[in-house]
Amino acid sequence: MADLYYEDVVVGEERLSALHTVTLADIKAFAEITLDDHPLHWDEEFCRSTVYGRPIAHGLYGLSLMEGLKTKMGLYLHTSLGSLGWDEVRFLKPIFPDDTVHVKLRSAHKRKSRKPDRGVVTEQVSLLNQHADVVTEARHATLLLIRSESPITDGGAEP
């Protein structure tokens, strides 16, 4: 289901994204774009001496990937007015090159906004790897349109 309006969101409902395989090239591109070129993320020789033994993705790469995988789900393609922010972000386990990840999204809470045409939906979002380990988790608030209550769309007679 795509283009969910505020009314369509069911608190407690869970959805899963498609799978995505992380590559070392992805991690290097993120390092270049964000200017975070710490060798922990790209230098295989340096990483051999770390507790991980190999490069790991940036925590913020995982968070960004969570948003990207959510976007690919098409849930709010034309109904989102924007993100209100991320809270309680936790990087629980490393993301390695060649890990295959997906998002699990649970609608946790919703409330109407002060403006009558929109509502706020809070999502509990988890990024899981191929072993079903949660590698990143966070809460996200998004602002969604409320479906028009006009007689044309609600099936009622004109006033």
8 A C-beta contact, residue 53 and residue 46: no
Q: What is the pLDDT of residue 76?
A: 94
Q: pTM score > 0.85 for this model?
A: yes
Domains in the chain (CATH in brackets) are 6-22+58-149 (3.10.129.10)
**Over the chain, what is the mean pLDDT?**
92
Cα within 13 Å of Cα(32), Cβ side: 6
Angle between helices 59-72 and 24-34 (to 10 degrees): 110
φ, ψ for residue 6, nearest 5 deg: -50, -45
Q: At 69, which amino acid appears?
A: L
Give pLDDT tens digits for 98-134.
Answer: 999 999 999 999 999 999 999 999 999 999 999 999 9
Give pLDDT tens digits for 53-72.
Answer: 999 999 999 999 999 999 99
